[in-house]
Amino acid sequence: MHRRAYAISLCAAAVLLIAAPAQAGAWNLTLKAPGHHPTAGEPWPIKVGAHTRSGKPLRATAIYKFLFNGVVVGTSSPYGRRSTKPYPFKGSFRDTLRWPKKAVGYRLTFRVVVKARHVNHRRKHVDYWVRVRP
């Protein structure tokens, strides 16, 4: 009887150890944008969200990176174009970007890098390609 209880508890512990890593860092990062072809100088509203898989909002910070052919050519934050200070938020935030005229015609990657607190896999990013129109 004692052996059977030990075997059952050992199996239950193994199942919990296997399931724990999958759930510990499980969170979603989302980016909503109006399209892949923003117009230079015009408002381009976005929404960024960081939630657990069950939908609870996470405390996090966000920063923007702009890439050309995989190389970072610019960094910004929701604080403004010249700021590289991470922007703190809980759950989600909205921002409006304005693409510069010098970006017209190039295929760029807009990357939002988010660092969430209180989860194992803290850092994630989402990429969104754009080609700015004149």
Q: What is the pLDDT of residues 46-95, one digit of tens each?
A: 999 999 999 999 999 999 999 999 999 999 999 887 788 999 999 999 99
- Please give the single-letter amino acid code of residue 31: L
SS3 label, residue 23: helix
Give the largest Cα separation in the chain, rounded.
78
What number of other Cβ atoms are within 10 A of residue 48's Cβ? 23
In 3-state terms, what secondary structure has residue 34?
coil
Q: What is the pLDDT of residues 118-131, one digit of tens each?
A: 777 789 999 999 99
Q: Please write the tens of the pLDDT for every residue from 44-55.
A: 999 999 999 999
Domains of the chain, with CATH numbers?
A: 25-131 (2.60.40.1930)
